[in-house]
């Protein structure tokens, strides 16, 4: 799995809030075409790490490099402009706008009107949102809103996709469908997925990075992590 070039790398990445070291000197590397999961108990620093990658937080120290470009001091829109698709933990969607307009706004950012329209239609079909395309997103169920956000990520045709808890609050059936979709995205893009749901991770992942107290505890396959005593202790003991 680990071949090709490193597309995303952090060196000594730290994020402190007052005295709390949410992320503490993390060295992390992601290779092209990888599908990496980040796991860890609550407060392990996954989401803070994620926000540092996407420009939503300015790290206290260290650097984030995406394809040889330093993005540490960049704004989120500049990170997105590198071809990075981002889905946040709490669904961030345009509540008052129709599903299709949500998707279109993403597609239109990088494409001429005609291509944006066809890309929007394709995405609606791919995510099975066709029936509700004219509904305002604010009226949809939680799982559907998550998919609208995924649709926005996909419609931009990113080469690097960062997803924070994409299956949170979904029914089992929806989760399975989301896992399928993520594997499909992985055919053309490199992914990082922050997740809580162990079953979900088993469905999609090859390599898993375990966070604990702001640091990387270990990096391995899900089977190896399940078997590891330290990992079980911090995280898996009570779940799997």
Q: Toward other proteins, which CB reaches closer, 27 or 75?
A: 75
Find the shortest distance in angstroms from Cβ 73 to other proteins: 15
Quote the Cα angle for 152-10-61, to 5°. Answer: 110
Q: Toward other proteins, which CB reaches closer, 31 or 94?
A: 94
Find the shortest distance in angstroms from Cβ 8 to other proteins: 16
Q: Toward other proteins, which CB reaches closer, 86 or 132?
A: 86
Find the shortest distance in angstroms from Cβ 226 to other proteins: 33
* Residues 109, 106: Cα–Cα separation, whole Å: 5
Q: Toward other proteins, which CB reaches closer, 151 or 214?
A: 151
Find the shortest distance in angstroms from Cβ 188 to other proteins: 18
Task: Give the Å distances, CA to CA, from 133 to 8, 129, 144, 147, 201.
Answer: 34, 6, 11, 12, 29
Q: Where along the sequence are the contacts to other proteins (CB under 8 A)?
A: 54, 56, 75-77, 80-81, 86, 88, 92-97, 101, 104-106, 108-110, 113, 134, 149, 152, 156
* Residues 144, 140: Cα–Cα separation, whole Å: 6
Within the chain, what is the greatest distance between any pair of CA atoms? Answer: 55
């Amino acid at each position: 799995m680990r071949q090709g070039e490193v597309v995303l790398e952090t060196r000594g990445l730290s994020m402190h809030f007052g005295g709390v070291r949410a992320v503490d000197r993390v060295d992390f590397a992601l290779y092209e075409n990888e599908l990496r999961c980040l796991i860890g108990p609550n407060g392990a620093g996954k989401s803070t790490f994620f926000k540092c990658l996407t420009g939503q937080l300015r790290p206290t120290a260290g650097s984030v490099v995406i394809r040889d470009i330093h993005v540490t001091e960049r704004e989120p829109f500049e990170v997105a402009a590198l071809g990075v698709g981002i889905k946040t933990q709490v669904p961030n969607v345009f509540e008052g706008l129709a599903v299709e307009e949500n998707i279109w706004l993403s597609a239109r950012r990088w494409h001429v009107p005609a291509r944006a329209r066809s890309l929007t239609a394709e995405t609606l079909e791919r995510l099975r949102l066709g029936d509700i395309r004219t509904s305002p997103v604010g009226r949809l169920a939680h799982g559907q809103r998550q998919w609208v956000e995924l649709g926005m990520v996909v419609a931009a045709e990113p080469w690097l996709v960062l997803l924070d808890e994409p299956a949170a609050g979904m029914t089992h059936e929806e989760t399975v469908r989301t896992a399928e979709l993520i594997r499909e995205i992985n055919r053309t893009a490199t992914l990082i997925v922050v997740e809580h749901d162990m079953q979900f991770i088993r469905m999609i992942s090859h390599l898993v990075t375990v966070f604990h107290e702001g640091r990387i505890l270990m990096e391995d396959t899900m089977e190896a992590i399940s078997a590891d005593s330290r990992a079980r202790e911090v995280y898996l003991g009570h779940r799997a």
